[in-house]
Structure 1
Amino acid sequence: MKVVFTTMFRETKGGGIGRVAHEIAPAFAFKHETLFIYPGWKTILKKRGKLTRLEIQSEEKNEIAIPILSSKNIKKIFEELKSFSPEIIHAQDLGPLSFLIQMWARKNKIPFVYTSHVLPTKIAGFGAQEISGNLGKILENKLAKKYFINFFENCEAVIALNKNAEKDILKFGYTGKIFLIPNGRDLSLYKNKKIKNCQAKANKILLFVGYLTRRKNQKFLIETMKYLPKNYVLKLAGPAIDEKYLVYLRNYCQKYKLNNVEFLGKVPYLDVSKLLLETDIFVSASKMEVQSLAIIEALASGTPVIGLSNETVDELVNIENGFVFSKNASPKEFAKKVKEICSLPREEYLKLSDSAREKVKELDWVKIVNRTAEKYKEIITDKLSHQTYQSKNISFEDFRSVTKFFSKLKINKEPYFNDLNVIILALTTLLASNFCSLFEEANSLIRKIRD
């Protein structure tokens, strides 16, 4: 099978979405010919074994990379897609590259699939508002919603990570095929078993891995430490999206003299398994998590999880491998349960640990790739892949409005996009299925003029 994957994130960027995108492509390439298209520092094609990587020159601020969609780069993308001749294309996000390639798929009648790593009815809540208030407003704007709906409608199928995500996709208004396929992980990284007696350890280690954001609610975890003895240590591993929130958390710790809270910053992915090996409990107070890779990895390492109710905690955590609190639980209640689990006899703690591993044993990349490939085959043979799609007319007012929004977007008081990218991003957002035809017709006209 020949598969194309797309993402808007460079390697090591984009949190869980970016990590999954940069893992699923090489995981597929063990068995299948794979083309992976994503942002890079320059446009370059790399091939190794069955995996071909096409990096597209991009501009980057924070975690987001905006591809430079010049005529040269667009031509390169289309040429490589044509040469590769994919049987199916799979986008991991709703970014400009995925959109552009979706339009190529529409024109060439190639099945297109999208994995929804966010809840589509709450897209702005997944970090955008903390990156920039203006970005949050853009994502909540009617024009943006039109774009998202258009993107969904032009998919042969959408992959939901769990039943909560499926419900939200249906609520969003998508009526096409939905397949339930969770994220995969390399479970071999977490095969080392815990051997220390949690009850007898001098220091009890609590860990959270992920961005420091208001959505992930680290303040609740820090508040919990006020009700725990000083030999309980909370380690927060991850960078801050909003530096003001990090300053707020540090000041809170200083105010209440919580010297047992450690801010580790961004931890290399391969070092997370080492952190988990010494961790007694993984803690989470996130308000919204479609499917947290950090919780999957914690369970895979045999670390019990205590968390406030959210999409991931509700799906994967129970009294056999940790504990689930309601969203309105207090830090004091949370702390009591932490002490209870850390005080368990070694045999009982190891039962939790073994149950944690058992819960996620089916989420290894090898098994997820096989499950996904089976659905690809179903999609490829489905009659939907042979249907034609009518182009949608976009008014000049729509174009002018969305250009205005992108122009106003600022980060740290600086314009986020330069003038060229404002126009290109607006175009690729609004021209929909006319884009490929327009590009090819324009190139054809240029060639005629030159001749």
Structure 2
Amino acid sequence: MKSLVVSSKYLPEYSGSGLRAHRTYLRLKEKYEIDFQVICSSTASNDSETYEIDGINVQQIVSERSRKLNRKLSSTPLRRFTNAALSHIEARSVTKQISETSFDVIHTFGYSPATIAAVNWSRKHKVPLIMELVNPMPNPYQYLPGSRLYSDQDLNHQSLIVAISQSLGDMCKSHGLIDNVWVRPNPVDTSHFSPPSERTRNDARSTISSATDDEILIVYVAKYIARKNHSFLLEVMAHLPENFRLVLAGPPQTENDTIPGLTAGEIPYLDARAKELGVGDRVEISHGFVDMLEYLSAADVFCFPSAGEAMGTPLIESIATGVPVVANASEPAFREWVIDGENGYLSDLNSERWAEAVINAAKLDADKKAAMSANIKSAISTEVIDGHYNKLLTELAAMRPEQQLNVEQVLSS
């Protein structure tokens, strides 16, 4: 069996869903001989290119000329038209490439001209489809600008929709998509993300920070985009005792990113803000790609003040590693996994109340940390999810166009 993975972004570009897709299919290839290749779009690059990563062929398809024009006109009244034109041009290029590629199943991750083209190709040519919803969205359908009124996209038949949170599952249900929707969070590789030994913890702490043994280390790793809310934690630090230290890390924005955030040259703003708040000596800020496991191994508390998250893989990786989480209470996906007093605390984005939650999270004992890790391993480890993927892919690939997948029946068989 062979899957064509089509993703909004892919490695080496920073992308949580792209990284997850790559690792998932590498495991499926090794365990079940499910082969794959990749077509992707990009937000960080304006170049189309073909390359290999871990022996897997990746084709990145973008329109450099259209993107440069679109950027020039981004602050003018013409931006809606250039945005639409860009989507159609890039989708057409992806469609051409798909037509020249051999595969059994299309598996999309995210929402971009590339994934829109893939979904439309699947529906038009009766090819089995897996659509992975990785961000909050009002509906599961993917249309090119201006095409919705004359397009009828059938997502009920010969398809599987993966909803990585219950809120996304409920959204699908509101659109009449139920039986073929697989509601489950992102899997966690519990062979890596598990409570560290004391030596591993100490080594990690000395690598990522200058925290002493008697300091409580708070960690937050996320790309420096505005909705990730890094600066909020500086305000939280102003309400925490002197023995609390904060480490912020993650990739910066690039010049091609279109959403608000901080580039590498702008990240020093956070250092200046920390000094203004009188916590500069207790805050350490870095940028670039990091080893999430190393940061979680070092942490006493992981904070997640982000907004607009479909799930947030670092949150469940933290729980699997035995690190209590303090997360944004307004996010439905976070409420699915963070249980006050058991594996962390939920708080609204009030810096004083958040500081109280951090103090309480740091007090959770070793037994609770072990229990929270064990719960993740039994429910959503990669071992469990990979087995489910194999069953669903096998069933889906054999389906006729008029058939509908029933996820519950397949997984219970």
- Distance apart, 1:115 and its partner CA: 0.7
- Distance apart, 1:282 and its partner CA: 0.6
Q: Tell me if 1:295 matches 2:311.
A: no
Superimposed CA distance per residue, residues 105-153 of structure 1 (whole angstroms, 9 cap, x where no aligned partner): 3343221120100121299xxxxxxxxxxxxxxx999748769984857
Aligned CA distance change for structure 1 residues 257 and 151 (closer, same or farther; 3 Å): farther
Aligned match of 1:408 = none
CA distance in 1, matches of 2:145, 2:99: 30
Residue 372 of structure 2 aligns with an amino acid whose one-letter code is A
Aligned match of 2:275 = 254
Equivalent residue in structure 2 for 1:236, among 213, 238, 248: 248
Equivalent residue in structure 2 for 1:120, among 118, 132, 137: 137
CA distance in 1, matches of 2:309, 2:151: 20
Aligned CA distance change for structure 1 residues 2 and 39 (closer, same or farther; 3 Å): closer
Aligned match of 1:267 = 289
Q: Tell me if 1:219 matches 2:231.
A: yes
- Distance apart, 1:23 and its partner CA: 1.7
Asked whether the equivalents of residues 4 and 39 of structure 2 are also in contact (C-alpha less than 8 Å), the reply is no
CA distance in 1, matches of 2:109, 2:37: 11
SS at match of 1:282: strand
Equivalent residue in structure 2 for 1:109, among 110, 117, 126: 126
SS at match of 1:295: helix
Aligned match of 2:33 = 32
Q: Which has the higher helix share?
A: 1
TM-score normalised to structure 1 length: 0.67
CA distance in 2, matches of 1:306, 1:225: 14
Aligned CA distance change for structure 1 residues 164 and 73 (closer, same or farther; 3 Å): closer
CA distance in 1, matches of 2:181, 2:387: 17
Asked whether the equivalents of residues 317 and 324 of structure 1 are also in contact (C-alpha less than 8 Å), the reply is yes
Aligned match of 2:162 = 159
Aligned CA distance change for structure 1 residues 52 and 349 (closer, same or farther; 3 Å): same
Q: Tell me if 1:374 matches 2:391.
A: yes
Aligned match of 1:12 = 12
Residue 319 of structure 2 aligns with an amino acid whose one-letter code is L
Aligned match of 1:322 = 343
Superimposed CA distance per residue, residues 212-255 of structure 1 (whole angstroms, 9 cap, x where no aligned partner): 33322223322110111233111111134412884654443232
Equivalent residues in 2 for 1:144-223, closer than 5 Å: 150=153, 156-171=159-174, 177-191=180-194, 193-195=196-198, 201-223=213-235
Residue 36 of structure 1 aligns with an amino acid whose one-letter code is Q
Aligned CA distance change for structure 1 residues 336 and 247 (closer, same or farther; 3 Å): same
SS at match of 2:289: coil
Residue 267 of structure 1 aligns with an amino acid whose one-letter code is F
- Which piece of structure 1 moves more, 71-80 or 313-322? 71-80
Aligned CA distance change for structure 1 residues 107 and 149 (closer, same or farther; 3 Å): closer
Aligned match of 1:339 = 359
- Which piece of structure 1 moves more, 70-79 or 354-363? 70-79
- Which piece of structure 1 moves more, 71-80 or 259-268? 71-80
Residue 381 of structure 2 aligns with an amino acid whose one-letter code is D
SS at match of 2:127: coil
CA distance in 1, matches of 2:269, 2:175: 35
RMSD, aligned α-carbons: 3.9
CA distance in 2, matches of 1:15, 1:229: 35
SS at match of 2:388: helix
Aligned match of 1:128 = none
TM-score normalised to structure 2 length: 0.72
- For structure 1, the 5+ residue unaligned runs are 124-138, 388-451
SS at match of 2:286: strand
- For structure 2, the 5+ residue unaligned runs are 42-46, 68-85, 206-211, 254-260, 405-413
Asked whether the equivalents of residues 59 and 67 of structure 1 are also in contact (C-alpha less than 8 Å), the reply is no
Residue 173 of structure 2 aligns with an amino acid whose one-letter code is L
Asked whether the equivalents of residues 94 and 148 of structure 1 are also in contact (C-alpha less than 8 Å), the reply is no
* Percent sequence identity over aligned pairs: 19
CA distance in 2, matches of 1:147, 1:300: 46
